[in-house]
């Protein structure tokens, strides 16, 4: 295989330089706000294994651009709420940075949880789900 001209880390760094990043401490205070939608882009198996932020919306990364596009046959109404603030997250903040960067190019305003779900858990954020409750 030939050497890549950009690494995944390079792509994430580029995205992070151009999007809004929310630190975990701020996200913890936003979690129950009526005007905030927390969007989990992790794989369904990750959510099942590690739990999820209560009230978060699950939107698999592979469908995200289609789900936010009102002209797509896959559009989801949850993404059509103009009065809402959207905060996306993955496990460590890499996938969500790339996702928000792409959504921003589409004209969809959003931010992402800079250090991801793992930091949310480490900082004592609430988690729900089958595995999370087994302690």
Query: For residue 114, what is the domain's CATH number?
Result: 3.40.250.10
Q: How far apart are CA 31 and CA 12, in angstroms?
A: 24
Name the pTM for this structure: 0.92
Does a structural domain hold residue 98?
yes
Query: In the beta sheet, which residues pair with residue 40?
Result: 58, 89
CB 33 within 8 A of CB 111: no
Tell me the DSSP string of 56-94. PEE--GGGHHHHH-TTSTT--GGGG-TT-EEEEE-SSSH
Does a structural domain hold residue 45?
yes
Element (H, E) at 44: helix 44-50
Does a structural domain hold residue 2?
no
Its domain, for residue 52, covers 19-134
Distance set, CA 71 to CA 15, 77, 88 (Å): 25, 12, 21
**Based on the structure, what is the number of domains in the chain?**
1
What whole-number percentage of the chain has pLDDT above 70?
Answer: 96
| 1-48 pLDDT, tens digit each | 789 999 999 999 999 999 999 999 999 999 889 999 999 999 999 999
């Amino acid at each position: 295989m030939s050497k890549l001209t950009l690494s995944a880390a390079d792509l994430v760094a580029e995205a992070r330089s151009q999007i809004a990043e929310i630190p975990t401490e701020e996200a913890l205070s936003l979690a129950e706000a009526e005007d905030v939608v927390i969007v989990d882009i992790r794989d369904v198996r990750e959510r099942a294994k590690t739990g999820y932020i209560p009230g978060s919306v699950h939107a698999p990364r592979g469908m995200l651009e289609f789900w936010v596009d009102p002209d797509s046959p896959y559009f989801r109404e949850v993404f059509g709420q103009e009065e809402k603030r959207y905060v996306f997250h993955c496990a460590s903040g890499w996938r969500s940075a790339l996702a928000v960067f792409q959504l921003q190019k589409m004209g969809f305003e959003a931010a992402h949880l800079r250090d991801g779900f793992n930091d949310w858990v480490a900082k004592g954020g609430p988690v729900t789900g089958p595995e999370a409750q087994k302690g």
